[in-house]
Amino acid sequence: MNQLEALKQFTTVVADTGDFRQLAQFKPTDATTNPSLILKAVQKPEYAPLMHDIVGRHRSAPLDETMDRLLVRFGTEILGIIPGRVSTEVDARLSFDTEATVARAERLMALYRAEGVGPERILIKIASTWEGIQAAARLQRQGVRTNLTLLFSFCQAVACGEAGVQLISPFVGRIYDWYKKSAGSNWDEAASAGANDPGVRSVRQIYQYYKRHGIATEVMGASFRNTGQILALAGCDLLTISPELLAQLAASEAPVTRALDAAGADTDLPRQHFDEPAFRWALNEDAMASDKLAEGIRAFAADAVKLEQLMKAI
């Protein structure tokens, strides 16, 4: 049994890609996409015709609607390959606008519905800002399942759990990146690997807090830099993994052991609550989380603009 097969015994494996032609070989349950992954995919010759088709058929539509149609087209193609759910992201430029986020999510769901895709197979990805979390709470009450992304801090996770979101995506690799860069020449890679990785520690804390307090929100570790981070979270509800790292896991037969177990969740953290002022203060006080959240929103927004420019040029 290779490591990917062994991991699937403990954790739901999710593919993090827009390149749906790669999916079949890894047999993931779910898949996640984002503007950066879709941008990367449509620049490949095998996917360019898909974008040309969408733009050609909806040339008179507003550009933001055409963008959503492209995202849904990719999502629909992915759902034809996997048995589970696909995550489709709301434009990051709406991350601080609750009303606009809700409206865009509703349009994405309507586009999926028009393709015959039921709501149980869709997760709407929204940045874990205060406004995004409030939008997700409203959408969940409407029966729209949400995936709160760009999550770097405990206060974001607590607020998401209180909002009743379906799933959160704490970003392991980007947390690791920040601490490594901050430490500079003092960074000790060996001492900060595996269970001691700062990104792994963050997810473990959130996972144990959720399980200890009976919070139903699913935890999906994301943004991995190496297989060591993935294996250190074996047993997490879900892990979303790039095709490159899925291939590395499939190529190794080293043993895999469960690292997280809901039955043994061990944390002394009491149940916590963050209203808006407390949330904003806690996020402000966490330099890593506030830096990476802002950076992530800017990066996804920039790639959305690049994707729009490609569509305009057709």
Q: Give strand pairing partners of 43.
A: none
- Distance (Å, rounded) from C-alpha 104 to C-alpha 51? 20
Instruction: State residue 4's pLDDT score.
Output: 98
Tokens matching residue 1: 């049994």
Burial 206-240 (b: 16+ CB within 10 A, else e): bbbbbbbeebebbbbbbbbbebebbbbbbbbbbbb
Instruction: State residue 187's pLDDT score.
Output: 98
- Asked if pLDDT for residue 267 goes beyond 90, the answer is no
Catalytic residues: 125
Percent with pLDDT over 70 in the chain = 100
For residue 62, give the CATH number of its domain.
Answer: 3.20.20.70
Residue whose C-alpha is closest to residue 244's, from 229, 221, 225: 225
* Residue 279 lies in domain: 3-312
Burial 138-149 (b: 16+ CB within 10 A, else e): bbbeeebbbbbb
Instruction: State residue 11's pLDDT score.
Output: 98
Section 101-116 average pLDDT: 98
Instruction: State residue 166's pLDDT score.
Output: 98
- Asked if pLDDT for residue 311 goes beyond 90, the answer is yes
Residue 179's alpha-carbon distances to 105, 170, 199, 219, in angstroms, are 33, 15, 9, 22
Reported as a pLDDT band with limits 50, 70 and 90, residue 182 is: very high
- Predicted structure pTM score: 0.97
Q: Are residues 308 and 51 in contact, defined by beta-carbon separation less than 8 angstroms?
A: no
Question: Is residue 207 within a helix (H) or strand (E), and if so which, with residue range?
Answer: helix 198-212
Instruction: State residue 268's pLDDT score.
Output: 86
Reported as a pLDDT band with limits 50, 70 and 90, residue 264 is: confident
- Asked if pLDDT for residue 42 goes beyond 90, the answer is yes
Domain count, the chain: 1
Indicate the average pLDDT of the chain: 97
- Asked if pLDDT for residue 229 goes beyond 90, the answer is yes
Tokens matching residue 17: 């890609």
Section 251-277 average pLDDT: 93
Tokens matching residue 172: 């392991």
Reported as a pLDDT band with limits 50, 70 and 90, residue 266 is: confident
Reported as a pLDDT band with limits 50, 70 and 90, residue 265 is: confident
